[in-house]
Amino acid sequence: MSFSCSRCGIEFRDGVLCSTCQLRFDFPCAGITEGGWRKLGDRKLTWKCSTCKSSAAASPRSSSKGLSTSDLDGILSELKHLSAQMASLPTIIENIKAIQSELADLKSMKTELLSVKTNLECMKSSIEFAHNSLDVLTSKTSKVELEVEGLMKMETEMFSLRNRFKELESYRRECEQRSRMNNIEFKGVPEAKTENLIEIVSRIGELIAFKIPKEQINYIARVPMRGNNRSKNIICSVHSRYIKDDFVAAAKKHKAILSSNIGLQGDTRIFVNDHLTLDNKLLLNKTKSVAKEQGFAYVWVKSCKILIRKNSTSPILAIKTEEDLKKLIH
């Protein structure tokens, strides 16, 4: 609660109360400090303002009747003393005028303080608005943090799914290649309408000194190449992977197999390889390029596995994925 000072009129929240006239004053007009007022304790109930104190001092306490000569001399002496003090009255008046001038300045300062108070209230409103805006922003930030946390969880799940997908893709490729473990691929064999594929494989076997018995052949057929339907390779599946490995190894030892060597037209070179999947064929080509760049002397395929070796004394490395190739690049 605020009060108005009975002397200067300035509003205040904490001040003093006169026990006689019941008027309220701020601490400067009451002539007492806030600390001094607090120290009065129970004596606050009997505190009097300067006006009430002066009235009490002016009240006659005794009758002037029956004054003696000595009393009159004493009074006369006091009057002379008062007269001497009155000589300084002009100076006191000047001081009062100066004080009044200062009070006028104080009133001007009061107006300025009221203006400052108004500005402070405006600032208070602005601060409250900023505080409310900050609360709204904090709430939105909390929501964003929750969304970010959800996205991070989603990212973790996606990372886990990517790894799982890689594992499944690797397993699929392995299964696809495993299904071709017993297959031999013949590339470059001229095609004829009345050809006998089993006879062609038999002639190649005679040439490389490793014949495959007919009863060991599971199936044989021409398969179109990816992106080239005109050229079809021969795929021969045998019952034993070891027969396939030995047949391919015997063909690799032979210098060159030409179509004319097996009674076919032309001198087209025939290649005998493991039947790799498309993914492994592309990986084999990339492996050969990296081997050439990094100075690897040997790249070959055995049992449908891509192998690489720096030199004749270095360890043999198996290349299963492109990640394995990246490890070779310095």
pLDDT on residue 2: 79
Q: Is the CB of residue 214 less than 8 Å from the CB of residue 198?
A: yes
Burial 64-86 (b: 16+ CB within 10 A, else e): eeeeeeeeeeeeeeeeeeeeeee
Burial class (CB in 10 A: 0-12, 13-18, 19+), 137: exposed
pLDDT on residue 318: 93
CATH 3.40.50.80 fits 1-53, yes or no: no
Separation of alpha carbons 19 and 45, rounded Å? 6
Partners of 232 in the β-ladder:
224
User: Per-residue pLDDT tens for 169-195?
Assistant: 889 988 999 999 999 999 999 998 889
Partners of 237 in the β-ladder:
183, 219
Q: Is the CB of residue 1 less than 8 Å from the CB of residue 13?
A: yes
Note down pLDDT in tens along the chain; length 330 residues: 778 898 888 888 888 999 999 899 998 898 888 888 888 888 888 889 988 988 876 655 444 445 567 667 777 777 777 777 677 778 888 888 888 888 888 888 888 888 888 888 889 888 988 888 898 899 899 999 999 999 999 999 999 999 999 889 889 988 999 999 999 999 999 998 889 999 999 999 999 999 999 999 999 999 988 766 667 999 999 999 999 999 999 999 988 999 999 999 889 999 999 999 999 999 999 999 999 999 999 999 998 999 999 999 999 999 999 899 998 886
Q: Which tokens is 72 given?
A: 């009159």
Separation of alpha carbons 231 and 224, rounded Å? 6
Taking the alpha carbons at both ends of the chain, their separation in whole angstroms is 82
pLDDT on residue 85: 67
Separation of alpha carbons 87 and 195, rounded Å? 152
| SS3 (DSSP) at 267 | coil
Give the largest Cα separation in the chain, rounded. Answer: 174
pLDDT on residue 296: 94
Which strand (E) or helix (H) includes residue 306?
strand 305-309
Separation of alpha carbons 197 and 313, rounded Å? 41
pLDDT on residue 64: 43
Q: Homologous superfamily of 181-275 in CATH?
A: L1 transposable element, RRM domain (3.30.70.1820)
- Tokens 């001497």 sit on residue: 84
Separation of alpha carbons 329 and 242, rounded Å? 34
pLDDT on residue 68: 64
Helical H segments across the chain, by residue range: 27-30, 34-40, 50-58, 69-86, 89-178, 197-208, 241-253, 278-294, 322-326
pLDDT on residue 71: 66
Task: Tell if the pTM clears 0.95, that is, is over it.
Answer: no
pLDDT on residue 14: 85
pLDDT on residue 65: 45
